[in-house]
Amino acid sequence: MSSTWLTKAVLQFERVLWLVSIGMLFVLGYFWGVLEFGMSHPVSLMTSLEALSGFEFSGRSVHQLPGGIWAHISEGEVGYIFTRTELLFISIVTFFCQIALAIIMVLSLIALRDKSYRLYAGVALYASGLLMVSPLYSLYESGVLPWWELVRVAGALLCVRWAAKSLPVPQTHSQALIVYASQTGSAKYLAQRLHDTAHALMDIACVSTLTEQTLKRYQRVFFVVSTYGQGEAPDSARRFVNTLQGANSAASQTQFSVLALGDRTYQTFCAFGHYLSELLEQKGYQRAIPTTEIDRMDPQGVAHWWQQVGELLGIHTAPELFEYDDYTVMANECLNPEQTHRLAHRVTLFCANARYEAGDLLAVQPEQKDEHERLYSIASYQDNTIELLVRQHIRADGTIGLASGMLSQLTPGDRVLASVREHTTFHPKANVPWIMIGAGTGLAPFISFLKKRQAEQDSAPCWLFFGEQYVEHDAYFAKDLTAFQDQGILTRLDRAWSRSDGVYVPDLLQQSHKAIRQWVAEQGAHVYVCGSREGFGESVLATLQDILPEPQWQSQLHTDLY
């Protein structure tokens, strides 16, 4: 039995002790009449034994009286009378105290046998802490000195807290930890797949839950991180990066490696992965494997890194990293056949395993198996069925994009390999108003959002801004939007038709700036922006910055820009 196990057990036990202590405080409150529980004051102070005349009492014992009343008589002829309910209440707390004491004794003995003296000191302190809260017998007599009970309980809690801090940091079973920092879910998916293949040796954590202390508990930490914005960290990594920046540099035994996800079309390719790697090294962590850049989830690059991780851990790793499900095409409708250079398709797919939330993405594997997957926002809300709004991408040389070309040409009965990607930063918040701002295929997740509202009968107001080129060609999902309006789910709908009316989404935002400010600042609305990053996304974010310049509204802004 290792001291690691012991320390963990003691730390778990601390929670029980807190519950016992809180229970004790309730008992005291009850006895002092601070807490009534709808009953009369439980204790009748007897200043003389005359009231109990006819019964024999001896010293400090407890006696049953007729009518289910118990009496405890203390020296000096002062005693209390308790009803059965009150005694039951006391005995339950006492029972837990006894159990807690028994556990403590066992832990102490094991700690001694293991020569874990430091741990033993902690356990002994727990025991003394518990002894201070446990003597309920003396509580019987405490009517005269109630403040003393308070000192006992408060003292015990302080002692327990101090003891917990004095314990050594528990070591984990696993030697290695895999950490993900993801914005649109790819890094998380990848980390989970890697973890699945080596879970006996590894723990897994989101970077948002990571502390420096956790990092130091592991011999090896493997990071799978993406880069966002213009070379920035995903939102979930910001807090950890700030903590790490402020940490002291000291040599650490912990080794690390970073798998940096990115896209070579960005100038700041994998910038966050490289930054994190350098920061960790600066703070004294040992780089075990060079930082590996992954372009658009390149499966070969990932497999190569994973093989190096396997060699380090002494395991054979040949996982099939990317697992896709078979999706069957149910329908494929072109929504704007007149717009031959920017066709938009509503593609309906079915897969019995498909489970997702509003805001999630579907990763589609192009027909060429060695090609990277492409992401699409899900526009539906019903499990098993997935709707996409796909723009047929035309490349600079006039050829059709690989994945969008494939999707737009599908016919019912065809099959596609795909897999849901959780997009937690774009999951809509329930019971608050939403301002949804989209352009082109950026409308897709908002159809899912509105269906969620409909399904959950959530009546908080919703406002949609939507931008496209022509009112007569590009009014996607128009019938659905009208139905949402008729049902009172979509409270406001503002559309900007750039080629029909020369109006863009940022113009509409400017026109409604007072109402937007009021929705966000006074009604707590969350703002969701989806669509292409260049042009649309950048101008919308700049306009929102003008309308809501205060940093506190940032937490209510969510983006899905591509």
Ligand X SMILES: Cc1cc2nc3c(=O)[nH]c(=O)nc-3n(C[C@H](O)[C@H](O)[C@H](O)COP(=O)(O)OP(=O)(O)OC[C@H]3O[C@@H](n4cnc5c(N)ncnc54)[C@H](O)[C@@H]3O)c2cc1C
Chain residues in the site for ligand X (CB under 6 A): 184, 263-265, 295-296, 361, 372, 374-377, 389-391, 393, 395, 401-405, 441, 444, 560, 562
Would you say 467 or 537 has its CB closer to ligand FMN?
Answer: 537
Adjacent-strand bridge partners of 134: none
CA 87 to mean position of chain CA atoms: 43
Footprint of ligand FMN on this chain (CB under 6 A)?
182-187, 226-231, 234, 261-263, 266, 268-271, 297, 533, 561-562
313 close to 395: Cβ distance less than 8 angstroms: no
Q: Biggest alpha carbon distance in the chain?
A: 108
Q: How far is the CB of 399 from ligand X (least distance, A)?
A: 8
Nearest Cα to Cα of residue 156 among 136, 141, 134, 123 = 134
290 close to 282: Cβ distance less than 8 angstroms: no
The DSSP line for 451-501 is HHHHHHT--S-EEEEEEES-TTT--TTHHHHHHHHHTTS--EEEEEETTTT
> Distance (Å, rounded) from C-alpha 425 to C-alpha 417?
25
Find which of ligand FMN, ligand X, none residue 261 binds, CB within 5 to 8 Å per kind. Answer: ligand FMN
Find which of ligand X, ligand FMN, none residue 377 binds, CB within 5 to 8 Å per kind. Answer: ligand X
Would you say 274 or 391 has its CB closer to ligand X?
Answer: 391
Residue 207 DSSP code: G
Is the dihedral angle over the CA atoms 204, 209, 211, 217 positive or is it negative? negative
Q: How far is the CB of 536 from ligand FMN (least distance, A)?
A: 12
**Position closest to ligand X via CB:** 401
Would you say 361 or 525 has its CB closer to ligand X?
Answer: 361
**Position closest to ligand FMN via CB:** 262
Find which of ligand FMN, ligand X, none residue 533 binds, CB within 5 to 8 Å per kind. Answer: ligand FMN
Find which of ligand FMN, ligand X, none residue 163 binds, CB within 5 to 8 Å per kind. Answer: none
257 close to 288: Cβ distance less than 8 angstroms: yes
Find which of ligand FMN, ligand X, none residue 494 binds, CB within 5 to 8 Å per kind. Answer: none
Q: How far is the CB of 537 from ligand FMN (least distance, A)?
A: 7
Q: How far is the CB of 238 from ligand X (least distance, A)?
A: 19
> Distance (Å, rounded) from C-alpha 207 to C-alpha 187?
11
CB atoms within 10 A of CB 484: 22
Would you say 142 or 227 has its CB closer to ligand FMN?
Answer: 227
Q: How far is the CB of 308 from ligand FMN (least distance, A)?
A: 20
Find which of ligand X, ligand FMN, none residue 186 binds, CB within 5 to 8 Å per kind. Answer: ligand FMN
Lookup: tokens for 386: 């997935």
Q: What SS3 class is residue 181?
A: strand
Q: How far is the CB of 225 from ligand X (least distance, A)?
A: 16
